[in-house]
Homo-oligomer: A and B are copies of this chain.
Amino acid sequence: MLKPVARRSLATEVFEQLRDHILDGELEPGAALPAERVLAEQLEVNRSAVREGLKRLEQAGLVSIQQGGATRVLDFKRTAGLELLAAMVVRGDGTIDTAVARGVLELRTQLAPIVARLCTQRADASTHAALGEVVAEMEASRGDLPTLQRLALDFWAVVVDGTGNVALELAFNSLAGTYDGVLEQFTQVLATEIGAVHEYAALAEAVVGGQPKRAATIATRIVSRGAEAIETVLQAVDSVQRDGGGNE
């Protein structure tokens, strides 16, 4: 089972190293990073690569760069955006921050009924058609969990798109991006959520039928299935990591 070798650019490497150091708390807010020239020497890369990495850190809201002055670490809890969730769930050393993971699940659980309700109230014919297509594909893929997992994301994308709310769409993108990194590991765990094709069909029906309350209820039920399953995993991870076990 071969897989493509990771081909990451130096700038990405620099970015991820520094990001993980900051997220792990090794670099505290207010601390000054070494000068670009120094970092370049320590990391054994060119200053351009360091600069690109630092620029990305700045855009991510992790550091503040100022010409003439030092580059300082910011308090990411106050300045970072949703796109950092993925890096916070899976820490630099590969361990999982279960508290953050629970936060993601909770946000998902809270947003699902809202999205379902708003979509029901505003969805037009094209959204209805798209929902029908996705559900049909899901029913055709019964038992194929990896495919169902992808289709489930598609399903939600259609629902979110149906709300006509760009802010919700962007938030969904960020949350969906958080899954990407851990999708494969959780395919089996999420079996009860993504395998319940009839629930998705029911939700689509409620949306098309203009039943916002029913749609919200079903949406909550769907995500709750996954939330419960993942919670048991998180508890297991908690106990393993507490005992000093390095998991993979």
Contacts and interface: CB of A to CB of B under 8 A. Distances in A.
A235 interface: no
A55 B57 CA distance: 12
Interface of A: 11, 48, 51-52, 55-56, 59-61, 77-85, 88, 99-100, 102-104, 106-107, 110, 114, 118, 157, 161, 164-171, 173-175, 177
A11 B65 CA distance: 13
Given A55-B11, A55-B52, A56-B59, A167 B100 contact: yes
Given A81-B174, A103-B165, A167-B175, 8 more contacts: A55-B55, A59-B60, A81-B173, A82-B82, A82-B167, A84-B170, A99-B166, A107-B167
Contacts of A59: 56, 59-60
A177 B82 CA distance: 12
B173 A103 contact: no
Contacts of A118: 106
A114 B174 CA distance: 19
* Number of this chain's copies in the complex: 2
A3 to B, nearest CB: 18
A106 B77 CA distance: 24
A85 B52 contact: no
Contacts of A164: 99, 103
A179 to B, nearest CB: 12
7 contacts: A59-B60, A80-B173, A84-B170, A85-B167, A103-B168, A107-B168, A110-B114
A23 B82 CA distance: 20
Given A52-B55, A59-B59, A59-B60, A82 B166 contact: no
A177 B106 CA distance: 23
A157 B78 contact: yes
Contacts of A84: 170
A5 to B, nearest CB: 14
A171 B171 contact: yes
A113 to B, nearest CB: 10
Contacts of A79: 173
